[in-house]
Amino acid sequence: MKINNKTLVSEIVAENYKAATIFKSYGIDFCCNGNRSIATVCAADDVNEAELIHQLVSSFETETDTNDYKTWDIDFLSDYIYNKHHKYVEKKIPEIKQYLDKICRVHGGRHPELLEINNLFTGSANELTMHMKKEELILFPYFKKLAVAQRNKTTVSSPQFGSVTSPIAMMHEEHDNEGHRFRKISDLSNNYTPPKDACSTYKVSFSLLQEFEEDLHKHIHLENNILFKKGVELEQTLQN
């Protein structure tokens, strides 16, 4: 999509929901007053036009993942997951919750499934927040100790949880719970397809939910299939 100062805010958000976050950061109403041009909103809200257009254009660029995660050291991979996925979850939860609360108030009467979607997301947000803290305070520090011991050819004292397989089993179970919860959200939202009477906020909410689920799948894959397996293997190697 070509964006210039004559492009309408509503057209940009309709083409790329990520633009909604950018407009929101500038205090620009993309929903009720979305039929205004970039030039108009920048003049009204004293926003740097060139800077805004640059950010909007950048939001359309597709990110290609060419990382070979299996070759990464366990401590580096732990840091990557924290910075890439844990911080994403922390940032997106309040944003999505705000949108869901709004569309529940406005559209909940005609679309009662929104109330259940909101409840499911709230439950997921609470559980994921606690889940990530357990990883950040227990598992990831232990993985880093294992990595240091491997490099320095030293030993690691046995953790309070015994073998790393114990907390990992718990993390697997919690991952399964969130996967199940988001399958329900996907079903209730007709695979994130907004109805015909959906406003811009409604559409953005569903797009953000879909992005959140996609990120969660990648997040869980990196942990279940790569990070946790590395942790188990490394612990066993250092114990032999």
The per-residue pLDDT for range 24-36, each reduced to its tens digit, is 889 898 876 788 9
The more confident residue out of 129 and 58 is 129
Grade residue 3 by pLDDT with cuts at 50, 70 and 90.
very high
Q: What is the mean pLDDT of residues 163-189?
A: 94
Cβ 99 vs Cβ 208: under 8 Å: yes
**Assigned domain for 2 exists:** no
Of 69-73, 76-80, 124-128, the one with minimum mean pLDDT is 69-73
**Assigned domain for 210 exists:** yes
- CA 62 to CA 214: how far, in whole Å? 15
Residue 24 and residue 100 in one domain: no
Q: What is the mean pLDDT of residues 74-96?
A: 97
β partners of residue 8? 37
Tokens representing 149 are 């011991």
Confidence (pLDDT) at 49: 95
How many structural domains are present in the chain? 2
Confidence (pLDDT) at 32: 66
User: Which range marks the domain in which residue 36 is found?
Assistant: 9-59
**Assigned domain for 64 exists:** no
Q: How far apart are the first and last CA of the chain?
A: 58
Confidence (pLDDT) at 7: 95
Confidence (pLDDT) at 63: 65
**Assigned domain for 111 exists:** yes
154 pLDDT above the threshold of 80: yes
| Ramachandran quadrant class, 164 (left: phi over 0; alpha: psi -120 to 50; beta: rest) | alpha
Cα separations in angstroms, 27 against 45, 133, 213, 230? 8, 31, 26, 44
Of 28-32, 87-91, 214-218, the one with minimum mean pLDDT is 28-32
Residue 48 and residue 141 in one domain: no
The domain boundary residue, chosen from 19, 37, 59: 59
Residue 104 and residue 202 in one domain: yes
Residue 32 and residue 100 in one domain: no
Confidence (pLDDT) at 62: 67
The domain boundary residue, chosen from 17, 40, 59: 59
**Assigned domain for 234 exists:** yes
Confidence (pLDDT) at 4: 95
Confidence (pLDDT) at 113: 97
The DSSP-derived string for the chain is ----TTSBHHHHHHH-THHHHHHHHTT---STT-SSBHHHHHHHHT--HHHHHHHHHHHTSPP-----GGGS-HHHHHHHHIIIIIHHHHHHHHHHHHHHHHHHHHHTTT-THHHHHHHHHHHHHHHHHHHHHHIIIIIHHHHHHHHHHHHHT---PPPTTSSTHHHHHHHHHHHHHHHHHHHHHHHHTTTT---TT--HHHHHHHHHHHHHHHHHHHHHHIIIIIIHHHHHHHHHHHH-
- CA 236 to CA 6: how far, in whole Å? 62
- Mean pLDDT (the chain) is 92
Residue 184 and residue 139 in one domain: yes
Confidence (pLDDT) at 157: 79
Residue 24 and residue 47 in one domain: yes
**Assigned domain for 3 exists:** no
